[in-house]
Amino acid sequence: MNDDSTVQTASYGRRAAVYWSVDGLPEIRRGLVFIVLTGSACLWQVYAHKRIGSYYLVIFGGLALYFFLLERVVLDFLKSRITYPRTGYVQPPDALWGGRQAQDLAPLSLRPGPPYVLSPFPLSAEENATFFWPRTVRPLEGFAVLCLTGRDLLGHWLVPLAMPALAITLYLANRTSERQYPWWSLLMLALTGPVCFWVNVPAPLQLPLPFLLAGQWLLGQGAYTLVDYLRANPYPRMAEGVKA
């Protein structure tokens, strides 16, 4: 593992979290999921003549399915072909949502794993667990809820308010985390909302537009990170005479 920032991090979980996002693949996949789900929901609504409720189900249900069931599987597949051959394998950290694992409770138990308890104390350096994953997934899920439920209430104000809200939330949630987004990148995300004040957005595009903008931003952020990673870590050449 060649990233210098991981050496300065004390916790095993924080090291794994830094390494898990060093290649930009999580943002690339999330951006593609936003774009694909939005396009699928629009096509479903137009060609199947479904009501707007099905639109909500496709986007929010698809995001929940990807984040909670598919993301780790997809990223493991991609990292095994892009990241691990270049900078080695690191076990992904466990994602903690509201509590932490109790290390000293119930030494004899039939539970499949240690229980989780709410604790104000920081994670031990020996624990391979962090809060970095929920700090990004929660804002994105909240963004989806805001856009879907605020469509009728906010109207043409939806995009100008939703995009800065997402940028501010990502900044506040990740400013002390292992994965900090550059301020200039979040500023670009925030400015995509006010721009719509001077652009006449057709009514049918007012709902899918924030999802498309968020997806494009995630895709661009991930691609920028991936290019830097590939430049710094070229694929290792095999020794002469060694067959694959």
Q: Of 219, 224, 180, whose CA–CA distance to 18 is shortest? A: 180
Within a domain: 238: no
Within a domain: 244: no
Given a contact cutoff of 8 angstroms between Cβ atoms, the answer to whether 104 and 124 are in contact is: no
Within a domain: 239: no
pLDDT (tens digit, 9 = 90+) per residue, 215-233? 999 999 999 999 999 999 9
Is pLDDT of 152 > 80? no
Within a domain: 108: yes
Q: pTM of the full predicted structure?
A: 0.78
pLDDT (tens digit, 9 = 90+) per residue, 68-111? 889 988 999 999 999 999 999 888 777 665 544 444 434 434 44
Structural domains in the chain (count):
1
Within a domain: 54: yes
Within a domain: 243: no
Within a domain: 80: yes
pLDDT (tens digit, 9 = 90+) per residue, 106-146? 443 444 444 433 344 445 555 556 677 788 888 998 898 88
Domain that holds residue 19: 4-232
pLDDT (tens digit, 9 = 90+) per residue, 179-229? 789 999 999 999 998 887 777 767 667 778 889 999 999 999 999 999 999
Within a domain: 105: yes
